[in-house]
Structure 1
């Protein structure tokens, strides 16, 4: 069964953030995700979820100085203390919102990073992910890692599917999973269905968007009905996050999801 979650950082931007929960529920979504919850109290967010009967399915750990250009802390040498604090904070929100998984963004390499610098980031990444997975396991949560394409996010440490699978193997934690974003994978690796098949047992969450413009999933070069059909055949029961930028007003572009419960004007 295909279950769609609205990414409230990208969808329903016609509304104030808290009002996006009701807009998503009214459009037929059953779950929500977003980048970060930390501008709001857990109580405010929990109330929004309860009022709309939505499930919180995913959010990210604190990313460092986002406005200053940072994109995660997990691979940054010398920032281990800050990363550990971010894990504690994210898990506090996850428990309050009954959210089963959190995403630890890897962070950026320095411009022109050499092999030695990349190796230092790898060591920090593995160590930090082991810590995060261990802490999350204590409270029954999963930690996700996501390869992000280097066109949208130049210098991002984790960008390839094979790299992510190697990290999962090296960390060796059962609750460390792959956040499989089909948009990023298409740009960096392609061969989407075969990647899904090969990596299926490692996948903890899936996200979609049209390629190359990151608009609705029915716009661009990826044929999502075939991918959803294959996911159903594989027995995927998790959520599919709709992390795309609507071409116009959000609800006007939801026709692509009618077969999976979404409604338009």
Structure 2
């Protein structure tokens, strides 16, 4: 049976993070992940994880100043990027999160790539936890440095750290590149986490351009067993539980 992780950056955002973790457990999720948990005490998050038995799969580095979307590829911001990486690793250590997603930010060109690679080298040397990088689609995040899986593949090979992996979000890849099944197969050795949402509206994965029953089956056949990240935007809170219940009942 496919295992699922609730991304609490989009799911149950109407309640404090510890209560969102409890809601994910009650709904039947197998794990949780989040975006920016830093306003919540790590002790409170850890207590909720211990109470529910759910693992925390990952969290993001901070976006930076208002209007920014990460710091790691921004020339001249290396000290801030290091501070953001250190903050994320400390929080991940405190709550037992398996991975840290290092956000690149809005940048372009060879200087940005060199800066991103230097900061990823810093991140991977600071922890044994998985460091993730994620291409974001050009429609939702125009100007984001990392836009394609091919670009991510080149950077991962260049940095050449065993704990640097690709966050493969079927939604972002679907909007930018398509051919999800082939890309999953080819990139599997580099993938550290998989997320999903409907294309193009980023809603629950029960409609849209992608056939998630086929995609989830394909992922299972590839031998993937880690929970898949449900990072979709529900129209209403009840939709989260309805989708999961329906999928697991074969509806």
Short-chain TM bin:
over 0.9
Q: Does 1:83 align with 2:81?
A: yes
SS at structure 2 position matched to 1:54: coil
Is the aligned partner of 1:257 residue 2:244? yes
Quote the Cα distance in structure 2 between the aligned partners of 1:16 and 1:101. 22
- Structure 2 CA distance, aligned partners of 1:18 and 1:101? 19
Given that 1:33 and 1:58 are in contact with CA atoms closer than 8 Å, whether structure 2 keeps it comes out as yes
Q: CA deviation at 1:14?
A: 3.9
Alignment TM-score, normalising by the size of structure 2: 0.95
Kindly report the root-mean-square deviation, in angstroms, between the aligned alpha carbons of the 2 structures.
1.5
Does 1:128 pair with 2:119? yes
Per-residue CA distance 1:221-261 (angstroms, 9 max, x = gap): 10001011111111002221110100222x33433333765
Residue in structure 1 matching 2:223, options 230, 235, 243: 235
How do 1:84-233 residues align onto structure 2 when only pairs under 5 Å count?
A: 84-109=82-107, 118-136=109-127, 140-233=128-221
What are the equivalent positions in structure 2 for 1:46-65 lying under 5 Å apart?
Answer: 46-65=46-65
Structure 2 Cα separation of the partners of residues 174 and 253 of structure 1: 35
Q: Provide the residue aligned with 1:113 in structure 2.
A: none
Q: For structure 2, which runs of at least 5 residues remain unmatched after alignment?
A: none
Cα offsets for 1:40-59 (capped at 9, x unmatched): 12111111211222111110
Q: In the alignment, is the contact (CA less than 8 A) between 1:28 and 1:261 conserved in 2?
A: no
Which residue in 2 is equivalent to 1:13?
Answer: 13
TM-score, normalisation: structure 1: 0.90
| In 1, Cα distance between equivalents of 2:154 and 2:72 | 16
Instruction: Report deviation, 1:135.
Output: 0.8
Are the counterparts in 2 of residues 4 and 260 from structure 1 also a CA contact under 8 Å? no
Alpha-carbon deviation of 1:82?
A: 1.1
